[in-house]
Structure 1
Amino acid sequence: MKTWEMIKELTENPKKKFKNKNIPYIVVACNSINLLVNEEGNYINVPFDAEWEEVKEPVSFIQVLERVKNNLSTRITLHDEARERIYAIRSLSGILRDLDEEFDSKEISKILLEGKWYIE
């Protein structure tokens, strides 16, 4: 997304974070006069035509369950770093079905608790 789109997203949800592969910092906030701030709290200038992508923060498995409970169409991603596996943009039932086919209950419980969950 372009800089103006990133600023629009930040004004709608100031908790979002964005990164750019050519700029060495992450933009984390937009104050009341639309100045961008980096993670250290310093005001920054960015090129208007820069391309940005949202930085997704992992959530707990309990947070995933709460979201799915309220919205069955929630799409999630699970990063299982211990086994170097990613279950990308799926439903919770799809991920659980895949885990059940590959692992026993003990391994599944470790993956659910230790994996990094992202809500899309």
Structure 2
Amino acid sequence: MEFAGNREQQSSSGIIVSTGLGSTGWLKSVISGASNIVNYLSGKEFNIQREIQLNWNNDYLYYSVREPFPRKTSQTNLVFGKITKDCPLRIFSLMPENGVIFSDGIENDFVQFNSGIEATVLLLLRKKVI
């Protein structure tokens, strides 16, 4: 994975990329879990959900790595970030087989993502023409 000039090899169960429209589902669940863990361990009340709000027309996306697993050969530093037009997310598959990219939790509508394939998540912004 490569993001914001940093690159690392990861082991995880996948990556969630969320638009503003999709931010009320899976991403909200991830943020809620992270918020409660931080609050419990710190003994403080910090509302991450309030800090991370996506509107449908935002010009950025958030990504979150699902279940990042640190090993001798993998890292867990790039687990959450904001994808902008100037800062894409690049993902390199190392899965020998059964790697997939799918949308909105619909696994039947997938693209193969096996070893050697690279996916780049970026924003293409359109200017309003009046």
Structure (1 or 2) with the larger CA radius of gyration: 1
Fold conserved between structures, TM > 0.5: no
TM-score by length of 2: 0.25
Instruction: Point out the structure with the larger helix share.
Output: 1
TM-score by length of 1: 0.27
